[in-house]
Amino acid sequence: MSRIAYVNGAYVPMSDAYVHIEDRGYQFADGVYEGITVASGKLIDLEPHLDRLERSLRELQIAMPMGRRAMTFVFKETVRRNRLANAFLYIQVTRGVAKRDHPFPANSSSTLVVTARRLDLAAVKSRASIGINVSSQPDIRWGRCDVKSISLLPNILAKQAAREAGGFEAVMYDKDGYVTEGSSTNIWMVTKDGTLVTRSTDDNILPGITRATLMQMAKDLQMQVETRAFKVEEAKSAAEMFLTSSTSCTMPIVKFDDTVIGGGTPGPAATRLAEAYWAYIEG
């Protein structure tokens, strides 16, 4: 069965799914995106994802292409037409088509593209039972990382450098050596006394939806959570590390560069949280 994409009002086979070559997303990366996990047909954390999409668009003065209810319908319909139970739903909104010129065009309408691809949640779970290696990479991004922009070149370069260094993810650090976030994930560490630590979302990182959900779960489980910046060296001497994102869920980190974390196996805090998160999305 061919995959179906939603493009500006029509559901079309992927092979016929096109946007104009003068779309500002293509020429300027002038747009934003969202990625939502679908588990057993359910859109996980749909409302916070819509909130973040609206906020990203508002910050860039790009019009919402349609209302939330209509958009929710398009998301569900895209999943349905692709006959997927577990999926990664990708939503991209750009400022639309206009003659190439840097200022905002006087009248363009937003381009909306929605795709869905199969997400192998069993593979994510099995990887989480072993844990992953990560690699430190300098964060060379701009000052508005709170906006989920499609301009991802620094993230791509960081992820690629991490992969070449044998890491599954890049853990990015700022000019003072503080961990910012992963190239497509939020980073956490667990101190020796069991406190979960993650950087504040006021500190130029993406406010991850999985991060927020997990923070609430940690509080519900009476775990201590501290929101503060931490350096690469502090993370390397932590009891545990893990990352969160829509596609990686809660993923223990067992090696950071050449440093083995937590004896090289997923630690108790990350495992507990991962179990809670799996119960949440599978429940």
Q: Which of 159, 199, 211, 255 binds ligand PDD (CB under 6 A)?
A: 211
Q: For this structure, is 76 an active site residue?
A: no
Number of residues engaging ligand PDD in binding (CB under 6 A): 15
Quick note: the x/- pattern for ligand PDD over 91-130, rule CB under 6 A, is: ----------------------------------------
Q: Does the protein bind ligand PDD through residue 209 (CB under 6 A)?
A: yes
Q: How many whole angstroms from its chain centre is CA 73?
A: 22
Rank residues 78 and 155 by Cβ distance to ligand PDD and give the closer one: 155
Distance CA 17, CA 13 (A): 6
Binding mask 24-43 for ligand PDD (x = CB under 6 A): -----------x--------
Residue nearer to ligand PDD on the CB measure, 3 or 20: 3
**Residue that has been written with the tokens 């398009």 in this structure:** 74
Per annotation, catalytic residue among 148, 192, 219, 255:
148
126's CB contacts (< 8 A; 6+ apart) are none
Output the smallest distance, CB 155 to ligand PDD, in A: 6
* Rounded CA separation 50/221 (Å): 27
> Based on CB atoms, which residue is closest to ligand PDD, 20 or 42?
42
Q: Is residue 8 a contact residue for ligand PDD (CB under 6 A)?
A: no
Q: Is 246 in the site for ligand PDD (CB under 6 A)?
A: yes
Among positions 170-199, residues that touch ligand PDD (CB under 6 A) are 181, 184-186
Closest distance of CB 263 from ligand PDD, Å: 27
Instruction: Give the catalytic positions in this structure.
Output: 148
Residues that bind ligand PDD (CB under 6 A): 35, 155, 181, 184-186, 206, 208-211, 244-247
